[in-house]
């Protein structure tokens, strides 16, 4: 019994020894603990004008970097690192059970994030163009890998902040923090701005993705900061006494303490403020965020697996060609693979080889290659289809191309796989045909960790596509993408507006005429492949030239208010429609 009683306090003593050993080896003595605690309490202030300027500048730089698709500009925003102080303050508050510091840090973080997002929204609203760049897209689908990055960032930032600086600074904690937080905040602002000005559904999808990444990194960084501060045992009695003295002179801390007393919540806070309660407070959101992240990670694994299988097929097909079909019997170069495309659908594989060749391949040779590649891939003969595109060339050019052949590329990165996924969808939809008179404008792909892929097709027409035809088109889209669960929707874009009436002998756009012009301008802004044809006229009793003036007034309205380029506007004032004017939208002829 005595042995059991002696074993009970051994665990706390062991933990205390580890914390002392950890603090000693980081050079964090009592003086450093006091200095660190005071500094982090000061960092949670709302009265520092420099801090708020840094928030604005970092948000602006990050937003413009995302719009310009410039990693260098985004890194510039990271280096400002304004959110480092309040995040570490929150981690310290959780580690020490400091309610006053915790509330100050939460208020500071909430206001900081709000300011950054609002400023990003204002910048996006002022931009004349709004494109969904790759730097934005990669921050809208976080996975568990992003969570791991945030955990490491929080640990490095916390340790580097606590450690005494000696000699040359070799770690920059601000970068470790800001790299995970300011760009996602700007993505949220960009998504909200995009939702207000261009597309509500697409903008909110971007904002939700950026918000999930922000929360992921915020929770992970705060959690690891808490662990580091717990390990350092910062809240020793002398440090607490020093903080109480500092807090008695700090107006913000005094105000928060008085507010807590007036609210009579000290008893509830003591229960929540215990170490197990604080761990639960940060662990619960940590585990909840893991659910959508794990779903995104599984979706990414499926895509990576598909890409790896395509790479395996491509390597096998290329190696077989080089071994048996690339050269003539005398050893001279006969052909060179310029491009090899692989498409998988319903367990079948479609290979397309684009070849430079000095001697065309016969039907028997093509059949022989198809049989050989099927055996190499260990697949059923009917499951493999091979197509050849031969480009005749001279033997000298062929030898030069073979000599310049690149070495096999390195395995693609996650960002490259995501870009390849988007390109694959675009390629699959390129040949989609709609029933006349409908003409396909563009498409938008929406992915979510919890929902199937959604494909939104925009088409130009004067009437809606029938319901039966919609069902057939949706089935065709799912078949092309090889995603049976994909959801496909078709949205009609009206192709004509008018008649737009004018007062007799007047060319000024009236309030009634502005409404259809605004609808047309918004569509032109959203779909850059459209042009507008203005057909205007005048009745016989009106003065000469008024039809041309009306066309010019409409053109000026679209250019000034909706930033429609003049090259996208054509005018026909010969045909008379009385005082009525018509606008007709057309798709740009890509063959021109």
* Average pLDDT in the chain: 79
Which pLDDT value is given to residue 189? 93
Q: What is the dihedral of CA 64, 70, 75, 77, to 10 degrees?
A: 0
Which pLDDT value is given to residue 61? Answer: 92
Residue 10 has pLDDT above 60, yes or no: no
Nearest to 203 by CA among 187, 215, 216, 217: 187
Report residue 270 CA to chain centroid gap: 41
Tens digits of per-residue pLDDT, 400-415? 554 554 444 455 555 5
Kindly tell me the number of DSSP H helices and DSSP E strands found in the chain.
Answer: 21, 10
For the segment 531-549, the average pLDDT, to the nearest whole number, is 83
pLDDT tens, position by position, 243-261: 888 888 888 888 887 787 7
Per the listing, tokens 């080889």 go with: 353
Q: What is the pLDDT of residue 1?
A: 39
Tell me what pLDDT residue 575 has. 45
The Cα 282–Cα 272 span in angstroms is: 12
The pLDDT value recorded for residue 164 is 66
Mean pLDDT of 553-558: 88
Q: What is the pLDDT of residue 9?
A: 46
In whole angstroms, how far apart are CA 549 and each of 498, 533, 565? 17, 15, 19
As a dihedral over the C-alpha atoms of residue 225, residue 227, residue 228, residue 230, rounded to 10 degrees, the angle is 120
């Amino acid at each position: 019994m005595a042995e059991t009683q002696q074993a009970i306090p051994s665990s706390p003593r062991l933990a205390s020894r580890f914390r002392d050993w950890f603090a000693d080896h980081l050079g964090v003595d009592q003086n450093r603990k006091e200095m660190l605690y005071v500094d982090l309490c000061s960092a949670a202030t709302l009265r520092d004008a420099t801090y708020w300027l840094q928030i604005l500048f970092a948000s602006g730089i990050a937003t413009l970097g995302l719009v310009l698709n410039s990693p260098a500009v985004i890194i510039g925003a990271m280096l400002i690192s304004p959110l480092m102080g309040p995040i570490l303050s929150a981690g310290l508050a959780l580690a020490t059970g400091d309610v006053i510091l915790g509330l100050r840090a939460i208020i500071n973080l909430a206001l900081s994030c709000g300011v950054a997002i609002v400023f990003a929204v204002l910048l996006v609203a002022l931009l004349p163009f709004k494109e969904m760049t790759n730097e934005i897209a990669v921050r809208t689908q976080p996975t568990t890998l992003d969570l791991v990055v945030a955990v490491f960032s929080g640990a490095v930032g916390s340790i580097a902040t606590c450690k005494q600086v000696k000699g040359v600074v070799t770690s920059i904690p601000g970068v470790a923090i800001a790299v995970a937080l300011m760009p996602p905040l700007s993505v949220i602002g960009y998504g909200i701005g995009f939702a207000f000005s261009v597309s509500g559904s697409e903008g909110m999808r971007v904002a939700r993705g950026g918000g999930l990444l922000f929360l992921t990194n915020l929770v992970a960084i705060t959690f690891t900061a808490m662990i580091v501060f717990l390990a350092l045992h910062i809240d020793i009695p002398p440090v607490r006494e020093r903080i109480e003295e500092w807090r008695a002179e700090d107006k913000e801390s005094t105000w928060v303490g008085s507010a807590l007393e007036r609210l009579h919540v000290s008893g509830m806070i003591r229960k929540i403020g215990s170490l197990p309660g604080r761990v639960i407070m940060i662990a619960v959101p940590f585990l909840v965020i893991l659910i959508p992240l794990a779903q995104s990670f599984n979706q990414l694994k499926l895509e990576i697996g598909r890409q790896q299988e395509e790479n395996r097929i491509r390597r096998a097909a290329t190696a077989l060609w080089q071994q048996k079909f690339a050269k003539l019997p005398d050893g001279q170069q006969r052909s060179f693979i310029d491009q090899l495309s692989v498409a998988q659908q319903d367990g079948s594989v479609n290979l397309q080889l684009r070849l430079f060749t000095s001697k065309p391949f016969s039907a028997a040779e093509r059949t022989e290659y198809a049989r050989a590649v099927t055996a190499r891939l260990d697949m059923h003969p009917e499951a493999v289809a091979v197509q050849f595109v031969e480009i005749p060339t001279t033997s000298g050019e062929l030898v030069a191309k073979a000599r310049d052949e690149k070495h096999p590329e390195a395995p693609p990165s996650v960002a490259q796989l995501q870009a390849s996924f988007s390109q694959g969808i675009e390629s699959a939809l390129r040949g989609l045909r709609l029933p006349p008179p409908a003409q396909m404008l563009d498409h938008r792909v929406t992915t979510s960790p919890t929902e199937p892929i959604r494909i939104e097709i925009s088409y130009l027409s004067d009437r809606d596509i029938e319901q039966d035809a919609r069902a057939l088109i949706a089935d065709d889209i799912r078949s092309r993408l090889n995603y049976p669960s994909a959801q496909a929707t078709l949205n009609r874009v009206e192709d004509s507006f008018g008649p737009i009436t004018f007062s007799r002998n007047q060319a000024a756009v009236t309030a009634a005429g502005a409404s259809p012009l605004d609808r047309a301008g918004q569509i032109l802004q959203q779909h850059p492949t459209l042009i507008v044809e203005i057909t205007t006229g005048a009745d016989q009793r009106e003065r000469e030239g008024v039809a041309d003036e009306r066309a010019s007034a409409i053109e000026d309205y679209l250019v000034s208010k909706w930033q429609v380029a003049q090259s996208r506007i054509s005018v026909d004032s010969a045909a008379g429609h009385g005082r009525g004017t018509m606008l007709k939208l057309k798709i740009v002829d890509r063959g021109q």
